[in-house]
Structure 1
Amino acid sequence: MKSQEIRSRFLSFFEEKAHDIVPSSPMVLKNDPTLMFTNSGMAPFKEFFLGNAVPKNNRISDSQKCLRVSGKHNDLEEVGYDTYHHTMFEMLGNWSFGDYFKKEAIAWAWELLTEVFNIDKSSLYVTVFEGSSDQDNLPMDQEAYDFWKQIIPEDRILMGNKKDNFWEMGEQGPCGPCSEIHVDIRSEEERAKVDGKSLVNMDHPQVVEIWNLVFMQYNRRANGTLEDLPAKHIDTGMGFERLCMVLQGVQSNYDTDVFTPIIREIETITSNHYGKDEKKDIAIRVIADHVRAVAFSIADGQLPSNNGAGYVIRRILRRAIRYGFTFLNKKEPFIYRLVDVLTKKMGKAFPELKAQKQLIENVIREEEHSFLNTLEQGLVLLNRIVETNSSDTISGEKAFELYDTYGFPIDLTALILGEKGLSLDEKGFQTELEKQKARSRAASESSTDDWTILADDTEEEFVGYDLLETNVKITRYRKVSSKKDGNMYQLVFNITPFYPEGGGQVGDKGYIEAQNGDVLYVLDTKKENNVIIHFTKNLPKHLEQTFKAVVDEKQRTRTAANHTATHLLHQALREVLGTHVEQKGSAVHSKHLRFDFSHFSKLTVEELRDVESFVNARIDGKLPLVEKRNIPINEAIAEGAMSLFGEKYGDTVRSIRFGQSIELCGGTHAENTGDLWHFKIVSEGAVAAGIRRIEAITLDAVKDFYFENNRSFFEMKDLLNNAQEPVKALQQLQDENTSLRKQVEQLLKQKAQNLSGELKNQLQEVNGVQFLATKIDLDQNGIKNIAFALGKEFDNLFLFFATSVKKDKAMLTCYISPALADARGYDAGKVVRELGKLIHGGGGGQNFFATAGGKNPGGIPKVLERVKEYIV
């Protein structure tokens, strides 16, 4: 059975069981501060489990894209080394929100596996939570056991401990016991030798968990205690790739048609054959897995970068590049070429791959170029470390610097050192790595208390589109402590005018005022699991009273203007550059805006001018805001509203129109484009291959920009003696400066030629060496030219020059004929490093030429006295 049919049959089965079939949510999360990626099938439905939102249907089924490479669920290091772990994978799932529970979940799972997919019943085992005697003191899940024994022999029902059979979303939140279904795909002969039940949960590659049925019935509080959830839920997850392995009768996920087309393409591109060499096989599996994770992440709007989710994606891609570089001998980009076969295989189920194919290829190719250059630079640095090392062991500290500063992989360092007959102090490296991790953990360490509920069943309402000030009551609060921010409090109101961070727009700031006039500042506003949270430094007194909530109007007005400008900018770019332009990210602050978009080249001056003119024409046109709230998404799209890949939209949306610009957007906006005053682009540049970034300003920031430029203009004009044509006067100065520089260079060259003859006459023969150590009045470039010019005349030359560049700066230069340096073991770098200490500085270079700088010109006489010691 082909993978596409497997996915289709799963979804059809649950559709017949009255489940809504919903599309996969984006793999990269944008509005959930507790998660970086969707790491399980239940993640998109957290708000339903927490009771912060109500689903349209209490029964849902889907195939969810997931990524597990960080945090508690981290499979990265296992990927490639076994047959069933992946970074990106599909999680088939069915969900019940307060509807059916254990009986139906168990019966339907068994029906689907054994009657629809026809998996041999004798190959299946199930696990049931055995209970715990720890602080939770949980009973055995007798209910699940009783349901299972009605459909499977009791000797195939195994007891599972808390680690394997009690599922928790995190340190806090919904949780509950679970039943896992395991399948034994070994041959009959192997099964006869070893009972499959002894291999369950033992990491056996052919006895694997295929489905996990989680019975959500508890809530974990911050103090560790459990309480019953108001309603019981079902959360199941079945690994699509593992299911394909079982149904296609193969022994590895990588032997299914999910991966084989990619593997065949890797074989063709790299001229390596899968199944011949275990190290190469691992590399091929790593690449086949990782290209999926990276491609889907880019399609969902997350580009590789140096922080956050982008750093994780870059790390995955670099791991793939490194395996290709090391084990498949690929020194040029090739992974981007796999995107075509991936799109053909999965583009039907996930159309975002087709839509973003060109961008995905461009970004991966650019990242490959960049990291391959890093690897080349790292090799040079590693060779330098080896050359200067005095023992046959390279310290962990040096290896860590190479890893941390330059991104050079530690396993590649160890491999190269082994080829050179050297060893790596791996223990020392791990020590340095743990120090870094400890620093990182300390910086981000935090704890969050449980919510203290002040008002039950109070639905929060956002009124910030219409009001900047209103009366509110606090419905819940909790304390958050971190080393970075200290103690903070998170407050939830029954009604709020504060816009929470989202859609690229920063959260509102402001204050709440108590009835006695006391003011508590709201420092930020965010949204978590459908709840708007307000951050304060302290708790107000008398929490039950009514407060006046006031948004910082100046900041909101500026931010709204900048958000409106992003819409007009998007329209302008599509008009000026073409309809291939799509928004790839934005950041809207009160002082500026940032807009990322797809485009293949740097914008010309004329294009930038046209974009600015287009936006400012709409500002001058004073276009009114036309807002439609809670309209069906199909109606909004039919009206021409633009939606963005990677964004999660509901059935009803909000559309924003300014003239011909129509977009789906939840942010705040100006009432009229005329409120923006003026739009000015301050920078344009590349973010990644095929992605450009524009930074721009409106309102007061534009006024400040022109004021500062005007002030600078008059200062420049004053320096030019109030010239009537300052640009022409400046050009004349530049021309004169160029002419004078040429004259100075000619004079310095002549001076160096004259000095070269004088210095040649000062050479002394010492110990068979033509030697000279003297102070010289010449710039560094001139000194180097003299040294190399004299070096061409003598093959036994040892020159040492000192010069005072400024009152507080001295320079030393040492030149030794290369033949002399090699024959006698002289080292110019060592000479300047040691003598540089006398001028309170240091330096280095090659064995035949090196320089040093210092802050003590007074040490030069002593330096010149000691130079001769290096040749006698």
Structure 2
Amino acid sequence: MNASEIRKSFCEFFESKQHQIVSSAPMVVKNDPTLMFTNAGMNQFKDIFLGNRKPSSPRVANSQKCLRVSGKHNDLEEVGHDTYHHTMFEMLGNWSFGDYFKEEAISWAWEFLTDVLKLDKSRLYASVFEGDKEMELEKDMEAFNFWKKYLPEDKIINGNRKDNFWEMGDMGPCGPCSEIHIDLRAEDEIAKKGGAELVNKDHPEVIEIWNLVFIQYNRKANGDLEFLPQKHVDTGMGFERLCMAMQGKKSNYDTDVFTPIIDEIAKVTEKKYGESDEVNIAMRVIADHVRTIAFSITDGQLPSNNKAGYVIRRILRRAVRYGYTFLDQRNAFMYKLLPALIKSMGDQYPELIDQKELITKVIKEEEDSFLRTLATGISMLDKIVKKTKEGNYKVVEGKIAFELYDTYGFPLDLTELILKENDLVVNRKEFETEMEAQKQRARSATAIETDDWVTLMQDDVEEFIGYDYLESDITITKYRKITAKNKTLFQLVFNITPFYAESGGQVGDSGYIDNGSEKIEIIDTKKENNLIVHLAKKLPANIKGEFKAYVNGKNRQNTANNHTATHLLHQALREVLGTHVEQKGSLVHPEYLRFDFAHFQKMTREEMEQVEKLVNQRIRSNFALEEMREIPVAKAHDLGAMMLFGEKYGDLVRAIKFGESIELCGGTHVQHTGELGFFKIISEGSISAGIRRIEAITGEKAEEMIMTQHNLLLGIQDMFKSSGDLQKNIESLMNDNSKLGKELDAMKQNFINIEKRDILDSAEEINGIKVIATIVNPMLGDKLKDLAFQIKNEMDEFVAVLGADVNGKPQLSVITSDDLAKSGKINAVEVIRDCAKEIQGGGGGQPFFATAGGKNAAGLDSAIQRAKAFVGDKLA
């Protein structure tokens, strides 16, 4: 079976077991502060496990795109070096939300693997949780007894807490799990040594393929476990590993999931897969990483220097570096692999086809940028090597290697490789100390301590009523304390809320709650695992009482203005620039809006004016809001609603329509476009390859900006005391200024020539060398360098020390003829460093020319005399 057939058979099997087949969530996570990327199939169901959302079906299954590169699940350094670790991978999974439990999960897993896929039963092993004294948990005998129906006891392995107890995090749902492992070794190897001894021992051919997690506990903040009111099943099977087992391969990279990409790498680089370990590893790294990068871009995450974007950039640079070092690729090449990836996976993930141009451009630009960084790093490293050898050292300081890594993005292993070629090594311990210190700083900056939720009343659904109301009667259903950056805040959950929680680029509402005797400020509103949490600096004294909630109405109105403006802007950009324009991110704030979109060149002034005109026409048209809440996603599609890549849409969606603009959106909007008043773009620029950013304002802010600019023009007009053509007046002034500037430069040059003759005449001869030491006219202070080099052009063997007082700041220049500098008789840097002490300054330069500035203008004369004496001593 090929990869597509294996994926299809999984979905069909669980559909036959009454599971709803759901689509993959985006690989880049939004609206969850605890995750940057989807690292497991269960992520999109996290709020169901936490009890914050009811499932659409008690049984679901899917194939989920996942990414594991940071935190607890960090596979990055293993990728490419072994046969089965990946950054981006697919996870086949089936879930039960309070429906079936261990018996069915085990039975169906066995049935699918052995009856449907026909895997050899004798090669399969299962593991069960062996219990843990610290957690006061016994062995999972329930799972053990179910497995005995299918496997002999010697193939049911006891697993410890690390391998066989699954936890979502330090707190929350958790439970024991059963892993299914397969032995892919040759028959004669199996005969020599049983597979049971190799389970969970990182053997490349005795591998885990499926994990069945039985979620039955909740871990509290103090570490205690309590039973959940409902038991759940969460399973995950590595698709790539399953393909390896099904296709009789020894490596995931030998399956048809990867071979088309590796074949293309070989073609592009003119290297042969299999010719050496280094080449094999490099090709595996690149094949894996190009998938990750492409899918991240389609899901809306571009490489950058922040958070998730930094992770993607790091992965891309790791691939470039392997190509650079082991495949001799000195120019961008990874972008050329995209057609092979699309051919392999485009049918399953058509977003690769739709965004081919953007992916290609982003990857190529990132490659080019990093190759320039590598060239810079290698140049810097050459200097480090030279300096280390000159000092007769063999070890390069770890701090230096870390600076190359941290500041310039130069990989440690490439540093070590280049140093090894020069018979040098890095102090790795020092490097790792610096790395750990940086990680600790990062952890400290983002560390958040959370207490358990304190539940005051049970409430199944926290209803958001903020589309219709800005105030309401509420009660607090639960709360908890959080500590971040040594500040204590409280998260409050209400039974209903008019506060909009930050999502979809729109900032969260602020306001307050009031019970008549006490007013509690709500400083922000966020969404966390489908809960709307309201942040407050303190708890109410009577927390169980009735409250009235009030949203900051002015901020909400301004935010709604800017959110509606993004929809009108999106429509106008597509009309002016083309339908390739698609939103790639946004920020909707009360003060302004920010809109990121796919486009490949800078917008002209005329294009921006045209966009502004279209948006303002639609504002004046005063289109009424047509809001369609909870309509089927298929109907929204038929209506022509914009649907963005990287978004996970449910069966029911909310569509927002203003005139011909229709978008799926959960944000707040105005009732009529006329409320926006006026729209004005304040900036447009590139943020990365193929992505532009517009910042704009509406309403009062736009009015303020226009008034400020108008008043500025009136002020300038008053300065000219003219009501005529202001632009012509300014042009005339600039022309006059340019003409006067040229005349002044000519006068200065004449003055320099006169001053130069006086300076040349002042030269003294010491041992046959002309020596000049003088303070020049302050008018020539900004021409000191020019004057020095004019003197150099008119003299043969000479030394000149020139000083000037430039608006109270002393300046010194030392210049000497090339033969004196080359012979070492006079070094301008030595002279300048000695005499600059008199003006309380310092300087530097080259042996033939050096400069210095200082703080003590009164010491200028002393500096000149000291320099003259220094030069005299050298020449004597």
| Pair 1:650 & 2:650 matched | yes
Query: How do 1:190-205 residues align onto structure 2 when only pairs under 5 Å count?
Result: 190-205=189-204
1:361 match: secondary structure: helix
Matches within 5 A, 1:469-488: 469-483=471-485, 486-488=487-489
What is the aligned partner in structure 2 of residue 298 from structure 1? 297
1:468 corresponds to: 470
- What pairs with 1:349-388 in structure 2 (closer than 5 Å)? 349-386=348-385
Aligned position for 1:824: 824
Contact 1:584–1:597 (CA under 8 A) maintained in structure 2: yes
Match of 1:724 in 2: 724
Pairwise CA distance, 1:819: 5.5
Tell me the C-alpha RMSD between the 2 structures.
2.3
Q: In structure 1, what residue type is equivalent to 2:28? A: V
Shifted more, 721-730 versus 469-478: the winner is 721-730
Q: What is the TM-score when the length of structure 2 is the normalising length? A: 0.95
Q: Give me the whole-angstrom Cα distance separating, in 2, the residues matched to 1:101 and 1:169.
A: 18
Cα deviation, residue 416, structure 1: 3.0
Deviates more, 1:455-464 or 1:233-242: 455-464
Amino acid at match of 1:854: G
AA aligned opposite 2:249 = V
Distance 1:436 1:423 in 2: 22
1:646 Cα deviation from its structure 2 partner: 0.8
- Are residues 1:712 and 2:702 paired? no
What's 2:311 paired with?
312
The one-letter amino acid of 1:109's match is: A
Q: Could you tell me which amino acid in structure 1 is paired with residue 806 of structure 2? A: V
- 1:424-573 to structure 2, matched below 5 A, reads 424-483=426-485, 486-516=487-517, 518-573=518-573
After the TM superposition, which of the residue ranges 854-863 and 637-646 deviates more from structure 2? 854-863
Change in Cα spacing, 1:10 to 1:677, as seen in structure 2 (3 Å) is same
Give the whole-Å Cα distance in 1 for the aligned partners of 2:64 and 2:262.
23
Secondary structure of 1:258's aligned partner: coil
Q: Which stretch has the larger CA shift, 587-596 or 312-321?
A: 312-321
Name the counterpart of 1:146: 145
Q: Distance in 2 between matches of 1:388 and 1:831?
A: 25
SS of equivalent to 1:370: helix
Map Cα deviations across residues 566-612 of structure 1 (whole Å, 9 max, x no partner). Answer: 01111111111121111111110000001111112111111111110
- What is the identity, as a one-letter code, of the residue corresponding to 2:323? G
SS in 2 for 1:613: helix
Contact 1:795-1:820 at 8 Å conserved across structures: no
Cα contact 1:458–1:475 (8 A) shared by 2: no
Distance 2:251 2:481 in 1: 47
Change in Cα spacing, 1:148 to 1:694, as seen in structure 2 (3 Å) is same
Shift, 1:382, TM fit: 3.5
Q: Distance in 1 between matches of 2:802 and 2:379?
A: 29
Where does residue 806 of structure 2 map in the other structure? Answer: 805
Cα 1:31–1:732 change in 2 (3 A) is same
Q: Unmatched 5+ residue regions in structure 2?
A: none
Could you tell me how far apart the structure 1 residues matched to 2:337 and 2:831 are?
53
Confirm or deny that 1:244 pairs with 2:243.
Answer: yes
- Compute the displacement of 1:527 (Å): 0.9
Deviation, 1:275, is 1.8
Structure 2 CA distance for aligned equivalents of residues 140 and 759 of structure 1: 96
Partner of 2:404: 402
Mapped to 2, the partners of 1:378 and 1:764 lie a distance apart of 48
1:757 positional shift: 4.8
Match of 2:579 in 1: 579
- How far residue 843 of structure 1 moved from its aligned partner, in angstroms, is 4.0
Aligned partners of 1:378 and 1:406 also within 8 Å: yes
- Secondary structure at the counterpart of residue 590 of structure 2: coil
Shift of 1:514: 1.4
Change (3 A) 1:442 1:799: farther
- Aligned letter for 1:117? L
Is 1:783–2:784 an aligned residue pair?
yes
What amino acid sits opposite 1:214 in the alignment? V
The question of whether the paired residues in 1 share the 8 Å contact of 2:837 and 2:863 is answered with no
Deviates further, 431-440 or 309-318: 431-440
Q: Over residues 178-202 of structure 1, what are the superposed CA-to-partner deviations in whole Å (9 max), with x where a residue is unaligned? A: 1111112121222233332222111
1:527-579 Cα deviation digits (max 9, x unpaired): 11111110000001111111000000000000000000001111111111121
Which whole-Å CA distance do the structure 2 matches of 1:259 and 1:641 have between them? 36
Shift of the 161–694 alpha-carbon distance from structure 1 to 2, 3 Å rule, reads: same
Q: Tell me the equivalent position of 1:54.
A: 54
Deviation at 1:138, TM superposition (A): 0.8
Q: Distance in 2 between matches of 1:434 and 1:797?
A: 55
State whether residues 269 and 334 of structure 1, in contact with CA within 8 Å, keep that contact through their aligned partners in structure 2: yes
Aligned to 2:16: 16
Mapped to 2, the partners of 1:275 and 1:631 lie a distance apart of 54
Shift of 1:814: 3.8
- Describe the superposition over 1:77-117 as per-residue Cα deviations: whole angstroms up to 9, x where unpaired: 22122221111111111111111111111111112222222
* Count of aligned pairs between the two proteins: 868
SS in 1 for 2:541: coil
CA displacement at 1:728 relative to structure 2: 1.8
Summarize the Cα distance change of 1:519–1:319 in structure 2 as closer, same or farther, 3 Å threshold: same
After superposition, the Cα gap between the structure-2 partners of 1:395 and 1:214, relative to the gap in structure 1 and judged at 3 Å, is: same
Question: 3-state SS of the aligned residue for 1:189?
Answer: helix
Shift of residue 743 of structure 1?
2.4
Bigger shift: residues 404-413 or 166-175: 404-413
The separation in 2 between residues aligned to 1:817 and 1:707, in whole angstroms, is: 60
Distance 1:724 1:332 in 2: 57
Give CA deviations for 1:768-801 in whole Å, capped at 9, x if unaligned: 7655444344767743344445555667654443
Q: Tell me the residue number matched to 2:332.
A: 333
Check whether the contact 2:53–2:461 (CA below 8 A) recurs between aligned residues. Answer: no
SS of the residue 2:234 aligns to: strand
Alignment partner of 1:103 is 2:103:
yes
Q: In the aligned structure 2, how far is the partner of 1:183 from the partner of 1:569?
A: 55
SS in 1 for 2:260: helix
Question: Compared with structure 1, are the counterparts of its residues 672 and 264 closer, same or farther at alpha carbon in structure 2 (3 Å cutoff)?
Answer: same
Q: CA 1:114 to 1:715, structure 2 compared with 1: closer, same or farther past 3 Å?
A: same
Partners of 1:773 and 1:152 lie apart in 2 by 97
Quickly say closer, same or farther: Cα 1:831–1:147, change in 2 above 3 A.
farther
User: Which segment is superposed worse, 338-347 or 827-836?
Assistant: 827-836
Separation in 2, partners of 1:548, 1:247: 61
How far the C-alpha of 1:373 sits from its partner, in A, is: 1.9
The aligned amino acid for 1:473 is T
Q: Which range is displaced more, 229-238 or 816-825? A: 816-825
Aligned-partner Cα distance in 1 for 2:548–2:819: 84
1:147 to partner: Cα distance: 0.8
Asked if the contact 1:626/1:658 (under 8 Å) is kept, the reply is yes
- Deviation of residue 766 (structure 1)? 5.2
Q: Whole-Å Cα distance in 2 between the matches of residues 791 and 475 of structure 1?
A: 84
> In the aligned structure 1, how far is the partner of 2:830 from the partner of 2:94?
70
Distance 1:574 1:812, change over 3 A: same
Provide closer, same or farther for how the CA distance between residues 785 and 50 of structure 1 changes in structure 2, counting only shifts above 3 A: same
Q: Which amino acid aligns with 2:270?
A: S
**Using the alignment, how far apart are the partners of 2:656 and 2:625 within structure 1?**
7
In the other structure, the counterpart of 1:281 is: 280
Q: Quick check: 2:831–2:870 contact (8 Å CA) kept in 1?
A: no
Could you say which residue in structure 2 is the equivalent of 1:597? 597
Contact 1:515 1:546 in 2 (8 A): no
Aligned to 1:165: 164
Query: By how many angstroms is 1:398 displaced?
Result: 3.2
Cα distance, 1:767 vs structure 2 = 6.8
- Any gaps of 5 or more consecutive residues in structure 1? none
Amino acid at match of 2:409: G
Match of 1:234 in 2: 233
Deviates more, 1:342-351 or 1:266-275: 266-275
Distance 1:342 1:859, change over 3 A: farther
Residue 254 of structure 1: aligned partner: 253
2:228 maps to a residue whose letter is L
Q: What letter corresponds to residue 725 of structure 1 in structure 2?
A: D
Shift of 1:823: 4.1
Superimposed CA distance per residue, residues 30-87 of structure 1 (whole angstroms, 9 cap, x where no aligned partner): 1112211101111011111111111221111111000111221111122122221111
- Matched to 1:747, the amino acid is M
Normalised to the residue count of structure 1, the TM-score between the two structures is 0.95
Shift of 1:150: 1.4
CA contact (8 A) 2:459 2:495 kept: no
